[in-house]
Structure 1
Amino acid sequence: FKLFNQLLSPVMLSTLKNGNIVRGLAGVPDKGPVLFVGYHQLLAMEVPALVEGFLREKKTILRAAAHQVFFVGNYEILRQELSLFDWFSAFGAVPVSPINTYKMFERNEFVLLYPGGVREALHRKGEAYKLFWPDQPEFVRMAARFGVTVVPFGCVGEDDFVEIVLDYNDQKNIPYLKDAIKSFNEDFKGLIRDTVKGDDGNQVLHLPAVLPKVPGRLYFLFGKPIEMKGMDNVLTDRKKANEVYLQIESEVENVVSYLKRKRKEDPYRSITRRALYHATQDPSTQVPTFEP
């Protein structure tokens, strides 16, 4: 974690109840249950920094509700064989399902949810920071039922670390890769989303080919917490549940836009500038960033 953290030098920001944005996680609730709902960066590169940040500052484990495909079949075998790289177990991830979510809420845990799922994490060229959320506000109802606090969040930085050279649209035009992807996805029928209107919203398991860049920096912003306790109307009124869902989605989009704009003001966005700063400061000193 330490080396990874130095490389990415993540900036964590949160929103206080009065709307002020501050550095650190002071605006994030200290006790659960809390549901963090946000944007999934390419190849889920933000997850290690998120987990490390919460362990360090909040002294708590952020439980990721991961896609079920990573716990079955070939993926499960691969994870067991590559145990050193089994991030799922290290991060306390569980298969996303209503039952598992209920259990985590009952234990007052911090739960991480990505409505865009695999589609966002394996997005295509030109789709960075675009949300692919389905019209399914189920997590809103679950949050209301358990009186959970929902925290919308966004993160940016993937485009400062890697560049996609072969995405799904490229790979499906290469006969061998097209057949391999099709065969691989057949094993997960019923587990991956394929019911969204238009192919763009559907999930296809594949591995984008990427080229690394000179590392930039990761930025996170946690929006103002939304108290779901007492919102009993969303349990029976689908329209109301959808309104809250769209509110959360809009907040995530606004947070991402804010971070994309503000990172241009960060004098330490470049790893070179950060390395020079570390060379003259105590290694434990937090690298400065833009003013929120």
Structure 2
Amino acid sequence: MSKIDIKRVVELEDKCVKIRKDLLNFIYQIGMGHLGGELSIVEMTVALYYEYMKYDPKNPKMEERDRFVLSKGHCSETLYTIFQDMGMYTMDYMVEHFETLDTAQFGMHSNRKYVPAIEASAGSLGHGLPIAVGMALGARASKASWRTLVLVGDGEMDEGTNWEAIMAAGHYQLGNLVAIVDKNQVQMTGTTAQVMNLDPLDKKLEAFGWDVINIEDGNDMMQVCEALDSLPDSDSQARRKPIFIIANTVKGKGVDFMEGNYKWHGGGIAKEQLEEALKDVEKNRKVR
């Protein structure tokens, strides 16, 4: 029997509904986003920021915070939406300062110079996991207790730099590092199976010296919470296998006409589509 508090799961699920709606409205207002992948990571990022990470939105640079790196940086609007929900910004402020010529504080890809809550700038894929390995090694050197978490995309796993980092993390036995792959099985031009097949991903990661947790449905909050709840305490001095979570998700989750459709990898959303999408999110709300 699961020891997860069902009441808390329902609260997090309700938060996911709000974040999805806010995200859709945000993308509508700024005119461009990567909704497919942004919607697929909602459950994981909500669980991390609202429940499982050591994090204070009022002090995003507190020294003892857990470090979260979004390597699939084109999905930064999900994080921005969470930040505004946590009271760090208003939606109007983010829209006003999104990729404007003079005050481009918020960009399509996250920039740590302009948004204090961002740990690592992202743009070209394949850099977040190597940075996270460096952070975990840095924590070991300074005997810090915080954990490093990094979220990568499954299409991003085509990048060779990821596999160098995976090899290094296994070699150094970084017990304070957790990587998560948003395995929504769709990338910009088609399915990952067609473009560059990753499977069997779990066996490959295990061969590189990682422990693997498979989440059958990475858009099911109960399953996400069970996976995150099973993580050992972070210990930068422990030499043990790093942990890789494979979250099997749905691209465009929550919006019927976007789900599993590679054409929603990037782009804007029209007003009529927005109205339909918002209805879908409410209609698809989980009832426990």
What TM-score results when the alignment is normalised by the length of structure 2? 0.37
Higher percent of residues as strand: 1
Larger radius of gyration: 1
